[in-house]
């Protein structure tokens, strides 16, 4: 007996399907919890080394502008769909360090966190790790809808950036962004193009389902109809679409209809051009599009699709721009640098940075190495683990995942290993940006410092833990032990008393009272 299907939506062009609005609704309702609860993966595109790669490209671009004598006006760096804010933290950290290492006069910059989710903007505004940058004018934030917004209202500085107002090129970062914008879907077959539509069905009654549950249960029913060009109002976009009749023999083509509109909106903000940095899973080579079946809808709380970077690159090139994509086959990620600029090939420092930090060895390579590390770290000794942590730029997620083995093998260390591990943990904390997830990095680092005999450092990190997560009985207990080891009797007694006052039922405090303060 055929199972009953519930119709969620009748057939519509793929780009107009309600699945895109459901997706948008998911992010607006989930807010930061989309990443905090790990429903939506983000480490792949927001780790320390991705931030470093972007910072190096931006640094190269600033040096190119300086060589052209263009340094008076501020450069704005607009991150689209900033979400959790972690990427921006890494980019600014690295960019500040790079700028501080040279004597060259470079344009000032302001990094703008943008999102369509108000709760995310509130999170940025209140985040303690952002406050110094806000006060220095290095950071601002704005509501920006890539499909609708034509101007930027910077909420911290109360500045409005009107269309064509910027007298410097705009730098935009679209990281894990284009994969969630509405795409059109076409089929190329026998030299003809067909416009694809989908109807949405569900085996379960969709009434009352939240967005994440509904997306998991949707079934897509495809249909198609012949398409005639011109189809779009923009002849350049029509030309890109029409080219696929010659470029592929038979394939379904996801076409970044709204992604291209977003780029046009970004171009509208500056009279001097646009440099777009973007990373996602996708295809930049036309041969990778050949033979593609109906698209795979990848669900992870929300859903996403593979990005047709070939079309985005063609859009850049047809306007006389310079499109850089990895010269070697990518296994996991594409990192693109699209320069919608006159004489894009003259931006040599940017090109050199792309060669060093993407082509020679980039985030895609590092992700492959990460998989190898997770499969083999239990065969590594302490110095090998430290080398891995350094290679990954002291990334806190890598540290977290290696932590159980690290704690096991650091019980017996030499003096030099002890010192090197301490330096590594300090650097890991320096590169950590909290989104107030459940994992308490500071507490874990504090525990290792205590085991290594760095009691002052342990106190510091137990203090960081208390600031992030509030007072806990075991924090007071560990802090009191640190004071005991440091022979700081006054603070030992004070800390123990504070702990007992706030957590009177905590049994371990009784053990501390039995300690002989004269024994050490």
Annotated domain spans of the chain = 6-24+182-252, 40-181+260-359, 367-513
Q: What is the residue whose two structure tokens read 């709380």?
A: 301
Q: What is the residue whose two structure tokens read 């070939």?
A: 310
**Topology of the domain covering 367-513:** 1.25.40
Query: Do the Cβ atoms of 338 and 279 come closer than 8 Å?
Result: no
Q: 348-386 burial, b if ≥16 CB within 10 A, otherwise e?
A: ebbbebbeebbeeebbbbbbeebeebeeebeebebeebb
Rounded alpha-carbon distances, angstroms, from residue 310 to 176, 325, 463: 16, 9, 50
Query: Do the Cβ atoms of 109 and 138 come closer than 8 Å?
Result: yes
Please provide residue 295's backbone torsions phi and psi, each rounded to the nearest 5 degrees: -65, 145
Query: Do the Cβ atoms of 357 and 53 come closer than 8 Å?
Result: yes
Q: How far apart are CA 194 and CA 226, in angstroms?
A: 4
Q: How many CB atoms lie within 10 A of CB 439?
A: 11
Please provide residue 368's backbone torsions phi and psi, each rounded to the nearest 5 degrees: -65, -40
Residue 40: per-residue pLDDT: 66
Handedness of CA 92, 95, 96, 97 (dihedral sign): positive
> Superfamily for 40-181+260-359?
Vaccinia Virus protein VP39 (3.40.50.150)
Q: How far apart are CA 109 and CA 292, in angstroms?
A: 42
Helix, strand, coil shares of the chain as percentages rounded to 5? 50, 20, 30
Please provide residue 494's backbone torsions phi and psi, each rounded to the nearest 5 degrees: -65, -45
Of 17, 51, 20, 28, the C-alpha closest to 357 is 51
Q: At 299, list the tokens.
A: 């669900």
Of 324, 181, 192, the C-alpha closest to 255 is 181
Residues 244-264 have pLDDT tens digits of: 999 999 999 999 999 999 999
Residue 295: per-residue pLDDT: 83
Query: Do the Cβ atoms of 65 and 76 come closer than 8 Å?
Result: no
At how many degrees (to 10) do helices 86-100 and 48-67 cross? 50
Query: Do the Cβ atoms of 434 and 468 come closer than 8 Å?
Result: yes
Q: Is the pTM of this model over 0.85?
A: yes
Please provide residue 422's backbone torsions phi and psi, each rounded to the nearest 5 degrees: -60, -45
Low-confidence ranges of the chain (pLDDT < 50): 1, 520
Q: How far apart are CA 476 and CA 492, in angstroms?
A: 10
Q: How far apart are CA 102 and CA 92, in angstroms?
A: 16
């Amino acid at each position: 007996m055929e199972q009953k299907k519930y119709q969620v939506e009748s057939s519509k062009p793929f780009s107009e399907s309600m699945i895109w609005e459901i997706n948008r609704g998911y992010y607006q309702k989930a807010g930061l919890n989309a990443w905090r609860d790990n429903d939506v993966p983000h480490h792949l595109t927001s780790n320390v080394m991705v931030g470093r790669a972007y910072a190096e490209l931006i640094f190269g671009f600033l040096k190119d502008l300086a060589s052209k004598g263009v340094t008076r006006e501020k450069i704005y760096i607009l991150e689209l769909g900033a979400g959790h804010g972690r990427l921006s933290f890494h980019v600014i950290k690295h960019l500040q360090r790079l700028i501080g290492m040279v004597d060259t006069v470079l344009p000032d910059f302001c990094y703008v966190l943008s999102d369509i989710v108000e709760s995310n903007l509130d999170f940025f505004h209140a985040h303690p790790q952002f406050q110094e940058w806000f006060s220095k004018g290095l950071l601002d934030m704005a509501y920006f809808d890539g499909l609708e917004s034509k101007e930027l209202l910077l909420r911290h500085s109360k500045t409005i950036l009107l269309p064509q107002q910027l007298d410097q090129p705009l730098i935009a970062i679209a990281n894990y962004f284009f994969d969630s914008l509405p795409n059109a879907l076409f089929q190329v077959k026998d030299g003809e193009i067909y416009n694809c539509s989908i109807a949405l069905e569900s085996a379960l009654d969709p009434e009352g389902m939240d967005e994440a549950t509904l997306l998991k249960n949707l079934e897509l029913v495809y249909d198609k109809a012949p398409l005639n060009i011109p189809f779009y109002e923009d002849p350049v976009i029509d030309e890109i679409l029409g080219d696929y009749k010659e470029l592929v023999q038979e394939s379904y083509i996801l076409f970044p209809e709204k992604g291209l509109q977003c780029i046009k909106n970004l171009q509208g903000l500056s009279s001097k051009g646009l440099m777009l940095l973007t990373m996602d899973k996708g295809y930049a080579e036309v041969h990778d599009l050949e033979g593609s079946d109906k698209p795979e809808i990848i669900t992870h709380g929300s859903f996403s699709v593979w990005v047709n970077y070939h079309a985005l690159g063609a859009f850049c090139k047809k306007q006389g721009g310079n499109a850089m994509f990895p010269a070697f086959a990518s296994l996991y990620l594409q990192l693109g640098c699209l320069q919608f600029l006159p004489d894009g090939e003259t931006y040599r420092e940017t090109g050199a940075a792309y060669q060093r930090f993407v082509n020679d060895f980039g985030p895609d390579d590092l992700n492959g190495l990460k998989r190898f590390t997770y499969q083999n770290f239990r065969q590594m000794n302490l110095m090998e683990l430290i080398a891995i942590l350094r290679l990954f730029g002291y990334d806190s997620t890598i540290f977290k995942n290696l932590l159980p083995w690290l704690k096991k093998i650091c019980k017996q260390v030499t003096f030099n290993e002890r010192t090197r591990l301490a330096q590594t943990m300090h650097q890991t904390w320096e590169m950590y940006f909290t989104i107030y997830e459940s994992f308490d990095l500071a507490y874990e680092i504090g525990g290792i410092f205590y085991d290594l005999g760095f009691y002052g450092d342990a106190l510091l990190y137990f203090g960081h833990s208390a600031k992030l997560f509030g007072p806990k009985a075991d924090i007071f207990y560990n802090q009191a032990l640190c004071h005991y080891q440091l022979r700081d009797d006054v603070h030992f007694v004070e800390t123990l008393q504070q702990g007992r006052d706030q957590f009177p039922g905590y049994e371990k405090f009784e053990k501390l009272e039995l300690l002989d303060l004269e024994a050490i």
